[in-house]
Amino acid sequence: MARSFYPAEHFAPLPQHVSLLPFRFARLAGQELLVNEAGEYLFTPDGTTRALADGTVDVQSDLYKDLKAKHIVYDETSSPLLDVLATKIRTKYDHLSGATKLHIFVVTLRCEHSCHYCQVSRQTATKGEFDMSEATANRSIALMLDSPSPHVTMELQGGEPLLAFDMIQYMVPRAKEQARLRGKGLDIVVTTNLACATDEMLAYFRDEGVRVSTSLDGPAFLHNKNRPRPGNDSYERAIDGIERARTILGWTNVAALMTTTAASLEHVHEIIDEYVRRDFHTIFLRPISPYGFALKTKTKTGYEMERFLEFYKQGLDHILEVNRGGYRLTEIYSQILLSKILTPHGTGYVDLQSPAGEAWNVLVYNYDGDVFASDESRMLAEMQDWTFRLGNVHKDNRRSLFMSEAAMNMFEASCNQSLAGCSDCAFQSYCGADPIYHHATQGDMYGHRPTSGFCKRNMEVIKHLFSFINEDDPQTMGIFWSWLTDKPIAGPVIK
């Protein structure tokens, strides 16, 4: 005998009071992408947002259940889910805890390279008056360790910091000892072109636990064009330095970054292949920054953002092919954005933070003791724009730096949740504010999003990544997750 069953609503009554939680939406590929306050997303049929606004979504449908699970709607049974949403939002903003974690020390302005895209007014290798003094170093180290963060990173850069190697030898042990006395963790990185690196210097870095970051713009013809130096051997010196540094410090303690110039735009495959050839497993497809000395050489090195986006998309396609062949190569900017899209975690990457990470998450101590909100704001000061100079280590403490007029003005424009063009953008949770960029390019910290290169770049890259996510190809998503989890990808794919 057939036995009938009670309908589902007999056991769980249908919701009677449906309300909307904050969300933003965009139309992509014939669908609507809905994003909640925690950055969780849902692809829905076209017309879903209108149905939500009109209150006509069928509460018995699978769509309603998905909307409820993604914290876009709530009803009388949602109270536990709201606690989960609050936890996810707190996790998203965890980067705010501990305040300033990255501290950049400009050891010297001296440099023996003449890079066309250099963002600072470098000085010749003989001008020692542009080196940081011991007194300035001591005060800068003390300010770094005044940060509430239990673990800080000290980045030594220039110019070319190895031209002031004696100052590095002075600073490193003092910073380590002062950090030990204060019970703080300390990482130290030196950013160098490696052209002046001796084996003795590299051995010192090994013994002191200092990591090395260098520049590699691609194969020899491109690297030497982008980064000229006497002898036209920048590439040869960089490769030699990388190999010696790996031998002495260990492979995991040597990293490389590239910068995209106009000369780079037609050679994205060659650049990526050079990183594979040199056995690097990360690459950051970075555009030129519109700051400082780089503005003077814009006609040589600059390009429109649309052209960079073509370069990035072609590069990402090639990087995915490299990964499908079994070689793990992570594109860093994509990794940062994918982490914000696919996981509940925020990011320590200053450019994609809201409130903006300048000052709050990074401080720069110039060779002369001036303190800036970021390396970019120091570059502006090299062009006599002092808007983001917070103070000087010999006159200020942490409180006065953060209460300065420069800091207050910047903080007002640092939250994309309240900026015109950002507050209602579907991608707001994944993006940043970057008032320094907008001041430099538009003369206004708040920025005008329809004409913002920052906005154009991030919106297009995020849309591009979402196109992969929506397509949901198992291979591609497996590669993306390997970038986020540090797990190896599968071996070469046999077609």
Residue 425 belongs to a domain: no
Residue 276 belongs to a domain: yes
What is the rounded average pLDDT of the residues 287-295? 64
Residue 395 belongs to a domain: yes
Tell me the backbone φ, ψ of residue 178, rounded to 5 degrees: -65, -35
What is the pLDDT, as a whole number, of residue 494?
28
- Specify whether 142 is located in the same domain as 282: yes
Judge whether 414 and 356 are in contact, CB under 8 Å: yes
The span from the CA of 159 to the CA of 75, in Å, is: 59
- Specify whether 84 is located in the same domain as 105: no
Domain at 187, CATH number: 3.20.20.70
Residue 495 belongs to a domain: no
Of the three residues 402, 417, 434, the one that is the final residue of a domain is 402
338 pLDDT more than 60? yes
Q: Could you tell me the strand order of the sheet in which 31-36 lies?
A: 23-28, 31-36, 41-45
- Specify whether 191 is located in the same domain as 241: yes
- Specify whether 57 is located in the same domain as 165: no
- Specify whether 185 is located in the same domain as 304: yes
- Specify whether 127 is located in the same domain as 202: yes
Domain interval for residue 238: 100-402
Of the three residues 367, 402, 437, the one that is the final residue of a domain is 402
Judge whether 371 and 363 are in contact, CB under 8 Å: yes
Residue 12 belongs to a domain: no
- Specify whether 154 is located in the same domain as 234: yes
Of the three residues 92, 108, 128, the one that is the final residue of a domain is 92
Contacts 24+ apart (CB under 8 A), 302-308: 302/262, 303/262, 303/265, 305/453, 305/456, 305/457, 306/456, 307/265, 308/260, 308/265, 308/457
- Specify whether 179 is located in the same domain as 241: yes
- For the chain, the domain total comes to 2
- Specify whether 172 is located in the same domain as 275: yes
pLDDT in tens, 171-223: 999 999 999 999 999 999 999 999 899 999 999 999 999 999 999 999 999 99
The span from the CA of 219 to the CA of 344, in Å, is: 38
- Specify whether 42 is located in the same domain as 157: no
- Specify whether 104 is located in the same domain as 84: no
pLDDT in tens, 102-147: 999 999 998 875 566 565 555 555 556 789 999 999 999 999 999 9
- Specify whether 226 is located in the same domain as 375: yes
Handedness of CA 213, 239, 259, 273 (dihedral sign): negative
